[in-house]
Amino acid sequence: MKLVKIQILRCIILSVVCRLAIASPEPIAGNWHADLQVPTGKLTLIFTISQDAEGHLIATMESPDQAPGQQIPISEITVDDDHLQIMVKVLGASIEADWDNEHEHWVGTFSQGMELPITIKRGLPADLPTIEGLDGSWHGVINRNGVNLRLILHISTDERGTRAKVDSPDTMNMNISVSDLTKDGDQVGYTMPVISGVFQGTLTDPNTMTGTWTVPGQETLTITYTRTDDSSKPIERLRPQVPTEPYGYRSEDVTYENPLTDGIVLAGTLTLPEGKGPFPAAILISGSGPQDRNETVFGHQPFLVLADHLTKQGIAVLRYDDRGTHESTGDYIASNSADFATDANAAHRYLLTRTEIDHDAIGFVGHSEGGLIAPLAITDHDLGANTEHPIAFLVMLAGPGTSSQQILRSQNRLIALSQGVSEEEIVKAVEFNAQIIQASITANSTEEAQESIRQLFTDEVLEEMDLSDMQAQTVMTQFSTPWMRYFLTYDPAEYLPRIDIPILALNGELDLQVPAQENLDGLRTLLADHPDATITELKGLNHMFQHAKTGALGEYNDIEETFAPEAMTIIATWIQERFGQKE
């Protein structure tokens, strides 16, 4: 299925008391709604604003398509001179909008990793038709080019009608919009607008329906859906490696400034082994995308698990929220890898103030993009590298050993194959992606990059590649961001040969995002003359260093293990052998 992966809203129940600066329009209290057009379809948002006894506003936000009845926290809402600002800190999302007096609604931008247009209108959205007898979660599998892909159709009914959405866990696309859900006797149908997909089926019994799945330009497939009992009850995933108190070591929440920025304050957690010290220390640097200090994804917290293991082995660990994420300040969207390198060096500078830390035994442990950020931080003094007490070691966990463009080519191909995309479609996509990359890296600004990429998406291209306008807009946005334009120019050959401190590089054999063989071969070439470089492929592990079957992205959530114990042992032993406390 041609679905574009982006991070979309996650729902958390909470309500927050918010203050209003200037009440415009009058009255602002009441219900408001917006239809947010995202790459997986239309997403409805409902804003409920009321006043408490003291006149303060209480505001909540609901995403009925994703979690009916659950409220998403609004951490701040202000209106100033007909300008509306909404902050949703737990999601890293914000809304900036201006009042359109003629049409009596708010028009602006929703930002969460990318910017999307939004119009907020007074009142609740129109009710949907009520369809009886289909509520529940319906599980099915389609087979595309020999690859099984799971589809989960969620149907629920409340006082506002019947809603449906689809999860595609094997392509990591969740909450895909469904429209035109119908039931006529035992005949059931629905449409997935984002890919013009159509299901037409028959209820063979109350909990089974069999039919066809059709997408323009693709072979018609057969799918059988089977209903489970409760669509509202999420699947509980076990994460047995998550540590619980008492930890057996000290854990301290800390904050520190990045002196190379205009007041960015980073928040993190420092874990210290029991004992006197001073201890060697590892600074954990997360992969791409706005990450919290634990690098949380699908309920897994790999940095929490790794920090727990290393600290129990006598190594202090500092992990921190990316700038603009969770408790750290700053603007993530406007930043690139070089900016993140200054954050890593700020973490190093902070540890140099701690007497429990051996100042000559502080190193970086970078995962994925973190393995790109760390070499930047080590080699570029303009990014805040410390010369008096330089970084002592570097651990690259699926860090790049080839150029970013080569990684993207290999990554896209391997992931597409794992999701049943045909060779013909892959070749076509690779050729077009090369044009997009060239337009991105040759532009002098974000706006110029967007315009150059926009010109590539002609009507003929959209039709040939079966892309919607929204999908094209997503690609334009992603490939014109400061982060992507910097990332596409990165080549480790400019940095790694200049590093002479001990280096440990690990890659999972089944890694599809930073493919192990070509990546490690690249590192071996770049570090051929290095005095202390250990480069190892770990059998059976994926990009997240989990034991996996195929390495496909959809396995990340299904696997209970967060971090392979043997990988953590290798890291801890390697650091201790070089920088452990001397008896």
Q: How many CB atoms lie within 10 A of CB 388?
A: 6
Give the pLDDT confidence score for residue 230 in this predicted structure: 57
Q: What is 295-321 written as a DSSP string?
A: --BTTB-HHHHHHHHHHHTT-EEEEEP
Q: What is 328-397 written as a DSSP string?
A: --S-STT--HHHHHHHHHHHHHHHTT-TTEEEEEEEEEEETTHHHHHHHHHH-GGGT--SSS---EEEEE
Residue extents of the structural domains in the chain: 16-122, 136-228, 250-402+491-579, 404-487
Topology alike, domains 136-228 and 250-402+491-579 = no
Q: Residue 142: is its pLDDT beyond 60?
A: yes
CA–CA separation, 583 vs 572, rounded Å?
18
* Greater model confidence, 12 or 79: 79
Give the pLDDT confidence score for residue 9 in this predicted structure: 32
CA–CA separation, 163 vs 126, rounded Å?
12
* Greater model confidence, 333 or 136: 136
98-132 confidence digits (pLDDT tens): 999 999 999 998 887 677 889 999 999 988 899 99
**Fold (topology level) of 136-228:** Lipocalin (2.40.128)
CA 456 to chain centre: 27
Q: Which residues of 164-202 are buried (b: 16+ CB within 10 A; e: fewer)?
A: bbbbbbbbbbbbbbbeebebeeeebebbbbbbebbbebe
Query: Which of 311, 320, 326, 317 has its CA nearest to residue 256?
Result: 320
**Fold (topology level) of 250-402+491-579:** Rossmann fold (3.40.50)
CA–CA separation, 300 vs 241, rounded Å?
9
H-helix segments, 21-123: none
H-helix segments, 403-532: 404-418, 423-442, 446-456, 459-464, 469-478, 482-487, 516-526
CA–CA separation, 522 vs 533, rounded Å?
13
502-538 confidence digits (pLDDT tens): 999 999 999 999 999 999 999 999 999 999 999 999 9
396 confidence band (pLDDT: 50, 70, 90): very high
CATH annotation of 16-122: 2.40.128
Residues of the chain by 3-state class (helix, strand, coil), percent to 5 = 25, 35, 40
Residues 515, 521 contacting (CB under 8 angstroms): no
CA–CA separation, 337 vs 489, rounded Å?
11
Question: Comparing 204-213, 285-294, 421-430, 507-516, which segment has the lowest mean pLDDT?
Answer: 421-430
Give the pLDDT confidence score for residue 2 in this predicted structure: 39
Query: Which of 369, 401, 408, 372 has its CA nearest to residue 493?
Result: 401
* Greater model confidence, 524 or 63: 524
Phi, psi angle pair for 475, to nearest 5°: -65, -45
In the structure encoding, which two tokens stand for residue 184, read together? 């006529």
Average pLDDT over residues 499-504: 97
Give the pLDDT confidence score for residue 66 in this predicted structure: 77
Q: Residue 208: is its pLDDT beyond 80?
A: yes
Average pLDDT over residues 201-224: 93
Give the pLDDT confidence score for residue 4 in this predicted structure: 34
433-474 confidence digits (pLDDT tens): 999 999 999 999 999 999 999 999 999 988 888 777 778 888
Give the chain's mean pLDDT.
89
13 confidence band (pLDDT: 50, 70, 90): very low
Question: Comparing 9-13, 356-360, 513-517, which segment has the lowest mean pLDDT?
Answer: 9-13
In the structure encoding, which two tokens stand for residue 283, read together? 């600074």
The helix/strand/coil state of 482 is: helix
Torsion, CA 566, CA 515, CA 476, CA 452, rounded to 10:
140
